[in-house]
Amino acid sequence: MIYRPYGRTGKDVSTIGFGAMRFGDVDNVDACTEMVVHAAERGITYFDTAPKYFGTRSEERIGEGLRELRRREMPYYLSSKTFESTESGIRREIEAQLKRLDVDAIDFYHMWCITDLAGWHERKKNGVIEAFLKLKEEGLIRHVCVSSHLIGDEIKELLDEDVFEGVLFGYSAYNYRTRVAAFDAIKRKNLGCVVMNPLGGGLIPQNPDMFNFIRTDENETIVQAALRFLIAHQEITVSLVGFGEKSHIDEAVEAVENFAPLGGPELEKIKAAGSTSFEGICTGCQYCLGSCPEEIRIPQLMDAYNQLILRGENELIGRLKYHWHVPFDEAAKCIECGRCEDACTQHLNIIERLAEIVEIGARAE
């Protein structure tokens, strides 16, 4: 395992992190604890959870796993998050989290999911920074962090806040062009940098041929190549992987252990080989869920649109008809209110895409 300094905190953490949002059987307490222990045995020390993964069960399972790590005197760092922005809301949330996680403090605590600057200014107005600093002063959290889906100059503005010690954002072999500005800010401010969604919401393993450009060793799997691509970025402290079973942990750890690290020039070569057409892909994060007054199934429709980008019209048609069973005329119900676009973490032009799907549907019928 490789360990890297988390910004200026003085802590070294494992470069592969345990993302606790994909437990195969979250209700099986023993199996989840075993996964946490297995990860620690393979050298993972960074464990990331959140209050809404599987309801509150992800935090509960991580709490039980960490209790076992303490019993075995194995090292770990804990990361979690909150959407709350008022002092009373944050206090209520963290008290419940500390109980579920069975710890006295959370190492890396994130202001969760900043999707636009207006929302960030609103949270600031509510006193989120002061509330986090108070928790730190009281020893309930150790480091103030932020999780963001902003891109370009917006993320620069967010990270210019002096309060942050680390940042978490989505980054992978298909969206790297939209995140370059973040790395400038991270280097300048010496922040810890954790990236999530390293497999592009499953798109990379589902389309290994298209992502072949990230492979530098014929023995590595596409998952390992995708992770090695991330680890080659010296600015990235931790790449979070959502583990569903123990074998996923082994596969990720082997990406670090069994292959020679990529050098800077090799990384640049891979980036240059990547097609710009991978930009604008829906990651399946589902943050748009519930935003549509017409109850249009946006994640399913945008997933099908991914197929259009990656494989062409017939794949879109097949995906909607046979995989999702969503009729084309569902896209035609759009009243262009824009709520889904405001919620979309990837800033996709959903309205235009829905119109295009309607046209394709008309042609197909």
Q: Which H or E element spans position 359?
A: helix 350-364
Minimal distance, residue 159 CB to ligand SF4, in Å: 22
Among 9, 97, 207, 283, binds ligand SF4 (CB under 6 A): 283
Q: Is 316 in the site for ligand SF4 (CB under 6 A)?
A: no
> If you write DSSP's letter for every residue of 156-193 in order, what string do you get?
HHHHTSTT-SEEEEE--TTTGGGGHHHHHHHHHHT-EE
d(CA 193, CA 195): 7
Q: Give the contacts of 329 (CB within 8 A, at least 6 positions apart).
A: 358, 361
Minimal distance, residue 205 CB to ligand SF4, in Å: 18
Minimal distance, residue 206 CB to ligand SF4, in Å: 15
Site string for ligand SF4, 339-358 (x = CB under 6 A): xx--xxxx-x-xx--x----
Reduced to 3 states, what is the DSSP secondary structure of residue 309?
A: helix
Instruction: Please give the C-alpha separations between residue 349 and each of 130, 305, 323, 341, 356, in angstroms, as whole numbers.
Output: 35, 11, 23, 7, 11
Q: Is 287 in the site for ligand SF4 (CB under 6 A)?
A: yes
CB 285 within 8 Å of CB 334: no
CB 170 within 8 Å of CB 162: no
Minimal distance, residue 305 CB to ligand SF4, in Å: 9
Size of the site for ligand SF4 (CB under 6 A): 30
Nearest 5°: phi and psi at 118? -60, -40
Minimal distance, residue 201 CB to ligand SF4, in Å: 8
Minimal distance, residue 266 CB to ligand SF4, in Å: 29
* Nearest residue (CB) to ligand SF4, 64 versus 315: 315
Q: Is 196 in the site for ligand SF4 (CB under 6 A)?
A: no
Among 291, 309, 311, 356, binds ligand SF4 (CB under 6 A): 291
Q: How many CA atoms lie within 13 A of 155 on its CB side?
A: 25
Q: Which residues in 88-147 contact ligand SF4 (CB under 6 A)?
A: none
Among 334, 357, 360, 361, binds ligand SF4 (CB under 6 A): 334
Best CA proximity match to 267, nearest among 167, 171, 168, 173: 173
Q: Is 299 in the site for ligand SF4 (CB under 6 A)?
A: yes
Q: Is 179 in the site for ligand SF4 (CB under 6 A)?
A: no
Q: Is 36 in the site for ligand SF4 (CB under 6 A)?
A: no
Instruction: Please give the C-alpha separations between residue 157 and each of 6, 44, 120, 129, 184, in angstroms, as whole numbers.
Output: 21, 32, 10, 15, 12
Residues that bind ligand SF4 (CB under 6 A): 282-288, 291-294, 296, 298-299, 302, 334-340, 343-346, 348, 350-351, 354
